[in-house]
């Protein structure tokens, strides 16, 4: 009995299905589950390093990340130190180093990064022997285009170029005062404004970069071109704890809407209220 007879005996529906599958196979197509569309990640990193010392020393690095792809909610930046560099402190992200591999994860207050938008972060570190810049930056595992800004040479002779029109001063975040005392179990605040009218809305976020974890800062504040010079308050809360010592923490206030480095560091001291017997 031929295969055609078997196919007909299985019934007309089975025959039609088999013919359809055969037609797809002939056309070079396969049947399978639909694949959901995924957001396309694309990024551009500008790394600027400032180092000091001879043979060994310290350095500060500023990293600007531009999202050249689809909007991203939550990001992880990775790169590898090519030398003996060690991370000592970072800001505007949660930083870790394992071997030569460095990971920076978006802070809770960071928010989504829209297409064409940029965010800024940085760190301090130490080096021995040499301090070559990283080159393998990636966001969520996707490699980024990298722009390197060389370390400024301390022996270089400044070149003065006459300019008919002076450049406008950069937009800055202004924090006052730069140091506050917070009673244990209570709150205190600093006032924040902008140095000049911004072209659009500016969101200023604050994170603790070092010190006592009992001290926490309030949510981001937003300035517009209309209220840029009206002071807003960043509140620091000191949690009640069981020790009898004062604590302190360093905070970093910055905005991804400001071009260049916008970080302002300030401190808070927890005034302990426990009585030592």
Residues 39-54: what's their mean pLDDT? 88
Bond preceding residue 94 cis, omega within 30 of 0: no
Residues 61 and 97: beta-carbon distance below 8 Å: no
Residues 79-102: what's their mean pLDDT? 94
Q: Alpha-carbon torsion 139, 143, 149, 154, what sign?
A: positive
Compute CA 7 distance to the chain's CA centroid, rounded to the nearest angstrom.
62
Instruction: State pLDDT tens for residues 155-166.
Output: 444 444 455 556
pLDDT in the model for residue 16: 40
Q: Please state, in angstroms and rounded to a whole number, the distance separating the CA atoms of residues 94 and 74.
A: 12
Predicted TM-score of the model (pTM): 0.46
Residues 66-88: what's their mean pLDDT? 94
Q: Please state, in angstroms and rounded to a whole number, the distance separating the CA atoms of residues 255 and 198.
A: 12
Domains and CATH numbers, the chain: 43-149 (2.60.40.290), 173-271 (2.60.40.10)
Instruction: State pLDDT tens for residues 184-235.
Output: 999 999 999 999 888 889 999 999 988 889 999 998 999 998 999 999 999 9
Q: Which residue, 126, 177, 125, 169, is CA-closest to 259? A: 169
Residues 93-106: what's their mean pLDDT? 95
């Amino acid at each position: 009995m031929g295969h055609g007879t078997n196919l007909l005996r299985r019934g007309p529906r089975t025959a039609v299905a088999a013919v359809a599958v055969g037609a797809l196979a002939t056309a070079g197509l396969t049947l399978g589950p639909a694949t959901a569309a995924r957001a396309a990640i694309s990024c551009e990193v500008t790394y600027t390093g400032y180092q000091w010392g001879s043979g060994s020393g310290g350095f500060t690095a500023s990293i600007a990340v531009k999202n050249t792809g689809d909007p991203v909610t939550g990001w992880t930046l990775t790169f590898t130190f090519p030398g003996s560099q060690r991370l000592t402190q970072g800001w505007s992200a949660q930083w870790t180093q394992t071997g030569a591999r460095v990971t920076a994860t978006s802070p809770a207050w960071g928010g989504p990064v829209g297409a064409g938008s940029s965010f800024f972060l940085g760190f301090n570190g130490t080096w021995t022997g040499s301090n070559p810049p990283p080159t393998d930056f990636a966001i969520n595992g996707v490699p980024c285009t990298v722009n390197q800004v060389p370390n400024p040479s301390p022996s270089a002779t400044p070149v003065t170029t006459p300019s008919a029109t002076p450049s406008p001063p950069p937009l800055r975040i202004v924090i006052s005062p730069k140091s506050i005392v917070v009673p244990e179990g209570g709150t205190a605040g600093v006032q924040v404004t902008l140095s000049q009218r911004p072209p659009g809305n500016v969101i200023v976020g604050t994170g603790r970069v070092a010190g006592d974890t009992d001290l926490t800062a309030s949510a981001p504040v937003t300035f517009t071109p209309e209220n840029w010079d009206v002071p807003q308050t960043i509140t620091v809360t000191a949690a009640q704890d069981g020790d009898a010592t004062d604590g302190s923490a360093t905070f970093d206030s910055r905005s991804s809407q400001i071009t260049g480095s916008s970080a302002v560091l300030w401190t808070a001291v927890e005034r302990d209220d426990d009585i030592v017997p």
